[in-house]
């Protein structure tokens, strides 16, 4: 007969009227029911069995009890506790284990990636590592493919790998994301969606979230979610402009554009992962201790820099009728505004900034806001109708402007005409039917 002390009975608890063994597998809780005579078979005598059952009953929760995942940066191994008052099993999750002691490598990576915003990023990481249920600003990371935005987002996820997940940004029937600590929205499927914006806003502000999992009763947990959006779209997320606040103490969006590194390091993700465990318990702990007293001064724990990319996102989300851009092209071709060679415009579909400004000033209503001129190109870039702003040779001199993706542009705005010349003819023949004047 096995002695009672040979089994760690602290791993056993009653869920309803059934005894379960609780195991942590990859830091995720596994509830395994045991046979009804399990205690009797694994204790020395009847008296021991009664003591064990009473001990297990002190950890009684209901079948509807929830799983509450909480990060603990100073733990070496993850563990669980039972909160009977809240009918909750708390899983205290340790960070990734230390492998290489090399803080300089990570500091250099953050400095090279974020430049003047490196200190903010390290503060964000420190608060994320050492607190729970503390709201942090939404990170919106833009940039071209292979610029490193996804690598950084995944690096953040490695602080607590089992508490982070890739999320498509959509609200669905089941919500495993509600019990996470970090959600990474990579190449956002809901770009421009007002519905998604409401979901993100809810995660940024809600105190409690409902978790819906397959084969489980729904349960409620305190909101512990932080959000990172990584996207190469011109408008990575929809945001109501009035939600923008240029006070760093209240700002809730850090928007940053990544640039492609000069050198490619295909192993950088793994080299960062090997060093992050030691970095948490040393560098980030020191930063956290230095800033923790000031955290109540800020709406999102730390002062959030107001970047030019944030101002651009605000402009991009203002309501703008992009047919204004089509009208401007028409007037450039008709009038030959300074700064554009009509032949080059027609043959190469190039529109310079100087010509657009000249057309805008002479054509647009004086009451039309300047932001209307600034914001249309975000939407056209997002729809792949124009290329990014770049330098061209016009009349032998460099001029910054845009090149139209003419097949798509024509199909959307100009009834499929073959070139700009035919577009002008269409305008002259029937403006109203051409672009919806």
Alpha-carbon gap, residue 328 to 430, rounded angstroms? 17
Do 157 and 304 share a domain, yes or no?
A: yes
208-211 and 182-186 strand pairing: unpaired
Is the Cβ–Cβ distance between 57 and 11 less than 8 Å? no
* CA end-to-end distance (rounded Å), the chain: 90
Alpha-carbon gap, residue 344 to 209, rounded angstroms? 57
Q: What is the CATH number of the domain that holds 242?
A: 3.40.50
Alpha-carbon gap, residue 331 to 325, rounded angstroms? 10
pLDDT at 202: 83
Do 345 and 404 share a domain, yes or no?
A: yes
Has residue 75 been placed in a domain?
A: yes
Has residue 417 been placed in a domain?
A: yes
Has residue 98 been placed in a domain?
A: no
CA distances from 318 to 193, 197, 369, 414 (A): 14, 15, 11, 24
Residue 236: closest CA among 149, 331, 351: 149
12-15 and 18-25 strand pairing: antiparallel
pLDDT at 108: 96
Residue 356: closest CA among 394, 312, 384, 396: 394
Has residue 380 been placed in a domain?
A: yes
Supply the pTM of this predicted model.
0.74
Residue numbers of the chain with a pLDDT score lower than 70: 1-5, 187-195, 316, 318-321, 336-341, 363-372, 374, 424-437
Has residue 287 been placed in a domain?
A: yes
Do 169 and 226 share a domain, yes or no?
A: yes
- Quickly tell me which residue has 């000249």 as its tokens: 358
Do 110 and 238 share a domain, yes or no?
A: yes
Do 174 and 261 share a domain, yes or no?
A: yes
Residue 289 CB neighbour total at 10 angstroms: 11
Residue 218: closest CA among 66, 70, 82: 66
Give the domain-ending residue among 93, 124, 142: 93
Has residue 76 been placed in a domain?
A: yes
Give the domain-ending residue among 297, 316, 335: 316
Do 330 and 309 share a domain, yes or no?
A: no
Do 274 and 142 share a domain, yes or no?
A: yes
Summarize pLDDT for 43-56 with one digit per residue, the tens.
888 888 999 999 99
Bridge partners of residue 227, in order along the sequence: 183
Give the domain-ending residue among 66, 93, 120: 93
Bridge partners of residue 32, in order along the sequence: 21
Please list, residue by residue across 390-419, b when 16 or more beta carbons sit within 10 angstroms of its beta carbon and e when fewer do.
eebebeeeebebbebbbeebbebbbeebee
Q: Under DSSP, is residue 413 helix (H, G, I), strand (E, B) or coil? A: helix
Q: What is the CATH number of the domain that holds 333?
A: 1.10.10
Alpha-carbon gap, residue 309 to 321, rounded angstroms? 22
Has residue 18 been placed in a domain?
A: yes
Q: How many structural domains is the chain composed of?
A: 3
Range of the domain at 359: 323-435
Please list, residue by residue across 227-243, b when 16 or more beta carbons sit within 10 angstroms of its beta carbon and e when fewer do.
bbbbbbebbbbbbeeee
Do 276 and 342 share a domain, yes or no?
A: no
Q: Under DSSP, is residue 281 helix (H, G, I), strand (E, B) or coil? A: helix
Has residue 23 been placed in a domain?
A: yes
- Quickly tell me which residue has 């640039």 as its tokens: 259
Do 340 and 214 share a domain, yes or no?
A: no
Alpha-carbon gap, residue 25 to 67, rounded angstroms? 14
79-83 and 208-211 strand pairing: unpaired
- Which residue intervals of 95-168 are DSSP H helices? 103-114, 118-130, 149-157
pLDDT at 430: 47
Q: Under DSSP, is residue 383 helix (H, G, I), strand (E, B) or coil? A: coil
Do 122 and 232 share a domain, yes or no?
A: yes
- Quickly tell me which residue has 């563990």 as its tokens: 79
Is the Cβ–Cβ distance between 392 and 350 less than 8 Å? yes
SS (H, E, C) 152-219: HHHHHHCCCHHHEEECCCCCCCCCHHHHCCEEEEECCCCCCCHHHHHHHHHHHHCCEEEECCCCCCCE
Do 417 and 308 share a domain, yes or no?
A: no
Do 275 and 373 share a domain, yes or no?
A: no
Alpha-carbon gap, residue 344 to 350, rounded angstroms? 7
């Amino acid at each position: 007969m096995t002695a009672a002390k040979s089994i760690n009975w602290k791993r056993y608890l009653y869920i309803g009227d059934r005894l379960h063994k609780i195991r942590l597998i990859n830091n995720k809780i596994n509830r395994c029911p045991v046979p009804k005579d399990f205690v009797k078979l694994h204790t020395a005598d009847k008296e021991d069995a009664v003591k064990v059952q009473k001990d297990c009953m002190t950890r009684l929760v209901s079948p509807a009890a929830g799983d509450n995942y909480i990060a603990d940066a100073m733990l070496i191994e993850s563990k669980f506790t039972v909160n009977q008052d809240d009918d909750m099993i708390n899983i205290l999750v340790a960070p990734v284990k230390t492998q290489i002691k090399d803080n300089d490598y990570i500091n250099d990576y953050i400095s090279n990636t974020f430049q003047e915003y490196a200190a903010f990023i390290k503060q964000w990481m420190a608060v994320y590592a050492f607190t729970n249920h503390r709201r942090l600003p939404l990170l919106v990371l833009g940039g071209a493919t292979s610029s490193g935005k996804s690598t950084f987002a995944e690096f953040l996820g490695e602080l607590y790998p089992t508490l982070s997940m890739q999320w498509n940004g959509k609200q669905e029937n089941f919500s495993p994301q509600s019990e996470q600590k970090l959600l990474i929205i990579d190449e956002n499927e809901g770009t421009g969606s007002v519905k998604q914006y409401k979901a993100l806003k809810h995660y940024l502000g809600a105190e409690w979230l409902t978790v819906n999992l397959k084969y489980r009763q729904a349960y409620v947990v305190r909101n512990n979610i932080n959000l990172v959006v990584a996207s190469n779209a011109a408008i990575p997320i929809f945001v109501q402009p009035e939600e923008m606040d240029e006070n760093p103490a209240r700002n809730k969006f850090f928007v940053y554009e990544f640039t492609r590194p000069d050198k490619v390091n295909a192993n950088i993700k793994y080299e960062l992962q090997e060093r992050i465990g030691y970095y948490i318990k040393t560098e980030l702990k020191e930063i956290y201790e230095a800033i923790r007293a000031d955290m109540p001064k800020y709406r999102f724990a730390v002062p959030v820099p107001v970047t030019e990319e944030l101002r651009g996102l605000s402009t991009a989300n203002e309501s703008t009728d992009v047919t204004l851009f089509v009208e401007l092209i028409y007037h450039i071709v008709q009038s030959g505004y300074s700064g554009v060679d009509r032949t080059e415009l027609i043959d190469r579909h190039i529109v310079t900034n100087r010509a657009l400004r000249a057309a805008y000033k002479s054509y647009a209503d004086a009451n039309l806001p300047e932001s209307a001129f600034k914001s249309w190109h975000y939407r056209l870039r997002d729809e792949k109708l124009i290329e990014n702003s770049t330098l061209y040779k016009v009349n032998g001199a460099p001029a910054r402007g845009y090149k139209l993706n003419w097949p798509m542009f024509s199909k959307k705005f100009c009834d499929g005409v073959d070139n700009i010349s035919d577009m002008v003819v269409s305008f002259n023949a029937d403006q109203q039917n051409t672009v919806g004047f």
